[in-house]
A and B are shown apart, each in its own frame.
Chain A
Amino acid sequence: MHIILNNSSMVPIYEQLMDQVKSAILKGDLAENEALPSVRTLSGQLRISALTVKKAYDRLEEEGFVVTVHGKGTYVAAADRQLALEARRKSVEDDFASAVQKAAAVGFGREDILQIVEIILEDYPWS
């Protein structure tokens, strides 16, 4: 993947980055499940702030183009949007599973866990 940023363009850097990753995915230059460079690596290569790269990756994930696996990296999502959505749901399920595992490890029972979830759901600002 070759990314060329225009620092004097009126288009924000994170948008330029998003657009180029998107078109690389759509053209097939970036294959499904291929790992994108880490945030720090890409920020170093492009000489832009890590936060800018993170912002671009986050937006790409919201749009279903990539999936970030916490602690591992960011991967190109399945080209099919439906599959991309599946992958994101799966990663949420994985997050729940690991939370349950942690809870069980400190001795929380089924009721305790359900109660915690209830409290979190109550406080969640559903929009």
Chain B
Amino acid sequence: MVIVDNLVKTYGSFRLDLSMEISDGAVTGIVGKNGAGKTTFIKALLGLIRPDEGRITINGREASMLTGREKASIGAALSESGFSAYLRVKDVTAILSKMYPTFDEEYFRKNCRAQGLPEDKRISEFSTGMKAKLRVLSAISHRAELLVMDEPTAGLDVQARNDILDLLRQYLQENENCSVLITSHISSDLESLCDDIYLIHDGKILLHEDTDVLLGSYAVLKVSEEAYEKLDKSYILAGRKEAFGYTCLTREKQFYAENYPGMVIENGSVDDLILLMTGGH
């Protein structure tokens, strides 16, 4: 269980200020534009930076005070693996097995083979997708109870993204109590994986919703100027002026579907959420 209680971290004019809870066995996603504070939050969670105010606890222990042994129960994949580019997969295997008492070498080797990561090739010769797979595999091969994934699919093609998400899904099936915190720009990745999603903007949480509700109850309405004037806006969360009229975001799809037959209503997605909630109109 991860509890983030009024975490504050300031860098110049940027201020991260948020609270959240990740219960055991939950898969939580964080979305937000570049610079929203996702990586700063992840760093604070891993104890890599100290919060200015507030506290983060992981299973009751302060995140910045975790011992090496306690940190071994966390699996993290950040934007850089930290492994020298001159190393080969077999060197990484040796390092990981020394670092983590619970490292499952067989599992790691098997998955490296399955994902097409040759043992004898230097990391410097790896493609972007191969490096990303190595980062994720390094994080999930020591039976971690909490996985922290910062943009594991950034910059990858659709096949590589799917491979990585399937690795995570497989891990989740084999470790039912494992919790995951994952950030991404690519909302469809999160929609298909996460139980709940936080939208962060300018260091603050704009929205927290179960993925299920997000995909089921949120909708985008497309209305003409005249229709917009007459529209009951009680359940409109955000809107944007368009050439044809307005695009509006609601979390009461049913209400508009029942009361405005003929209105163009599209299923909501995390992308719509980001664009409409942080677009600023």
Contacts and interface: CB of A to CB of B under 8 A. Distances in A.
Interface of A: 7-8, 10, 12-14, 38, 40-41, 43-44, 47-52, 55
B216 A49 contact: no
Given A10-B267, A49-B27, A40 B172 contact: yes
Given A40-B176, A49-B195, A51-B196, A13 B212 contact: yes
15 contacts: A13-B215, A38-B173, A40-B172, A40-B176, A44-B166, A47-B169, A47-B192, A48-B192, A49-B27, A49-B191, A49-B211, A50-B172, A51-B196, A51-B211, A52-B212
DSSP class of B's interface residues: helix, strand, loop or mixed? Answer: helix
A13 B269 CA distance: 13
A7 B25 CA distance: 25
A49 B173 contact: no
Interface in B243-281: 253, 257, 265, 267
Given A12-B215, A47-B165, 13 more contacts: A7-B267, A10-B253, A13-B216, A40-B172, A44-B172, A49-B27, A49-B194, A49-B211, A50-B27, A51-B195, A51-B196, A51-B212, A52-B211
Which has the most chain A C-beta neighbours within 10 Å: B173, B217, B253? B173
Contacts of B166: 44
Interface residues of B, number: 25
B170 interface: yes
B193 interface: yes
Contacts of A44: 166, 169-170, 172-173
Contacts of A48: 192
A78 B267 CA distance: 36
A55 B212 contact: yes
Closest 4 CB pairs of A and B: A12-B216, A44-B169, A51-B195, A47-B192
A48 B212 CA distance: 9
B149 to A, nearest CB: 16
Given A40-B176, A49-B27, A14 B212 contact: yes
B119 interface: no
Given A12-B216, A13-B212, A40-B173, A50 B195 contact: yes
B24 interface: no
B169 A49 contact: no
B182 to A, nearest CB: 12
A51 B210 contact: yes
Contacts of B165: 47
Contacts of A14: 212, 216
Contacts of B27: 49-50
A7 to B, nearest CB: 8
Contact of A10 (B170, B212, B257): B257
B92 to A, nearest CB: 26
Contacts of A10: 253, 257, 265, 267
Given A38-B173, A38-B176, A44-B169, A49 B212 contact: yes
A52 B215 CA distance: 10
Contacts of A7: 267
Contacts of A49: 27, 191-195, 210-212
Interface in B201-235: 210-212, 215-217
Interface string B78-116: 000000000000000000000000000000000000000
Nearest to B162: A47
Nearest to A39: B176
Contacts of B25: 50
A13 B210 CA distance: 13
A41 B142 CA distance: 21
Nearest to A45: B169
Interface in B129-180: 165-166, 169-170, 172-173, 176
